[in-house]
Protein backbone atom coordinates (compact mmCIF):
# COMPACT_ATOMS: atom_id res chain seq x y z
CA UNK A 1 0.00 0.00 0.00
CA UNK A 2 1.35 3.44 -0.92
CA UNK A 3 1.83 6.05 1.78
CA UNK A 4 -0.51 8.40 -0.10
CA UNK A 5 -3.22 5.72 0.18
CA UNK A 6 -2.74 5.59 3.93
CA UNK A 7 -2.90 9.35 4.32
CA UNK A 8 -5.10 11.06 1.72
CA UNK A 9 -3.88 14.45 2.96
CA UNK A 10 -0.24 13.84 2.02
CA UNK A 11 0.96 15.85 -0.94
CA UNK A 12 3.83 14.91 -3.20
CA UNK A 13 5.07 18.48 -3.56
CA UNK A 14 8.54 19.53 -2.51
CA UNK A 15 10.49 22.80 -2.53
CA UNK A 16 10.82 24.88 -4.61
CA UNK A 17 7.15 24.03 -5.39
CA UNK A 18 7.47 24.53 -9.15
CA UNK A 19 4.54 22.15 -9.62
CA UNK A 20 2.16 22.78 -6.73
CA UNK A 21 -0.29 20.09 -7.85
CA UNK A 22 -3.57 20.36 -5.96
CA UNK A 23 -2.25 22.74 -3.30
CA UNK A 24 -4.54 25.67 -2.52
CA UNK A 25 -2.26 27.70 -0.22
CA UNK A 26 1.36 27.64 0.90
CA UNK A 27 2.09 28.69 4.48
CA UNK A 28 5.59 30.13 4.68
CA UNK A 29 7.87 32.38 6.69
CA UNK A 30 10.80 32.88 4.30
CA UNK A 31 12.37 35.64 6.40
CA UNK A 32 12.60 33.33 9.43
CA UNK A 33 14.27 30.47 7.55
CA UNK A 34 16.83 32.05 5.21
CA UNK A 35 18.58 28.70 4.64
CA UNK A 36 15.37 27.03 3.40
CA UNK A 37 15.16 26.10 -0.29
CA UNK A 38 14.10 29.04 -2.44
CA UNK A 39 10.43 28.99 -3.40
CA UNK A 40 9.36 29.18 -7.04
CA UNK A 41 7.05 32.14 -6.51
CA UNK A 42 6.30 32.57 -10.22
CA UNK A 43 5.01 28.99 -10.63
CA UNK A 44 2.97 29.26 -7.46
CA UNK A 45 1.42 32.52 -8.62
CA UNK A 46 0.66 31.13 -12.09
CA UNK A 47 -1.09 28.17 -10.43
CA UNK A 48 -3.12 30.56 -8.25
CA UNK A 49 -1.53 29.32 -5.01
CA UNK A 50 -1.10 32.19 -2.55
CA UNK A 51 1.97 32.15 -0.32
CA UNK A 52 0.71 33.31 3.07
CA UNK A 53 2.10 33.72 6.55
CA UNK A 54 1.11 31.12 9.17
CA UNK A 55 -1.13 33.76 10.77
CA UNK A 56 -3.57 33.14 7.92
CA UNK A 57 -4.51 29.70 9.26
CA UNK A 58 -5.22 31.20 12.70
CA UNK A 59 -7.62 33.74 11.23
CA UNK A 60 -9.15 31.18 8.88
CA UNK A 61 -10.05 28.91 11.79
CA UNK A 62 -11.69 31.60 13.91
CA UNK A 63 -13.25 33.92 11.31
CA UNK A 64 -16.60 33.74 9.57
CA UNK A 65 -16.46 34.60 6.73
CA UNK A 66 -12.86 33.50 6.09
CA UNK A 67 -10.28 36.31 5.97
CA UNK A 68 -9.07 37.83 2.71
CA UNK A 69 -5.92 36.04 1.58
CA UNK A 70 -4.39 39.31 0.37
CA UNK A 71 -3.96 40.49 3.97
CA UNK A 72 -1.57 37.58 4.69
CA UNK A 73 0.57 37.36 1.53
CA UNK A 74 4.27 37.17 2.43
CA UNK A 75 6.33 40.19 1.41
CA UNK A 76 8.51 38.30 -1.09
CA UNK A 77 5.39 37.18 -3.02
CA UNK A 78 3.30 40.39 -2.96
CA UNK A 79 4.45 41.94 -6.25
CA UNK A 80 3.71 38.79 -8.25
CA UNK A 81 0.39 38.16 -6.48
CA UNK A 82 -0.81 41.75 -6.89
CA UNK A 83 0.07 41.77 -10.61
CA UNK A 84 -1.30 38.32 -11.48
CA UNK A 85 -4.46 39.55 -13.23
CA UNK A 86 -2.98 42.56 -15.00
* Under 8 Å between Cβ of 52 and 73: yes
Residues 3-52 pLDDT 10s: 444 444 555 555 556 667 778 888 888 777 666 667 888 888 999 999 99
Of 84 and 67, the structure prediction assigns the larger pLDDT to 67
What's the Rg (C-alpha) of the chain? 14
- Across 53-76, average pLDDT: 93
Nearest to 39 by CA among 22, 69, 18, 70: 18
Render 22-55 in DSSP notation, one character per residue.
T---EE--GGG-TTSPPP-HHHHHHTT--EE-TH
Instruction: Please report the pLDDT score of residue 33 as a whole number.
Output: 65
Instruction: Please report the pLDDT score of residue 86 as a whole number.
Output: 64
* Under 8 Å between Cβ of 10 and 16: no
- Across 57-71, average pLDDT: 94
Domain 3-82 belongs to what topology?
Rossmann fold (3.40.50)
Of 17 and 81, the structure prediction assigns the larger pLDDT to 81
Amino acid sequence: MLSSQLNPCSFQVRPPFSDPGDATHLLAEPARVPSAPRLDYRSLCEAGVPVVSPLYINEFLVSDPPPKVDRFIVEEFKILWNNRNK
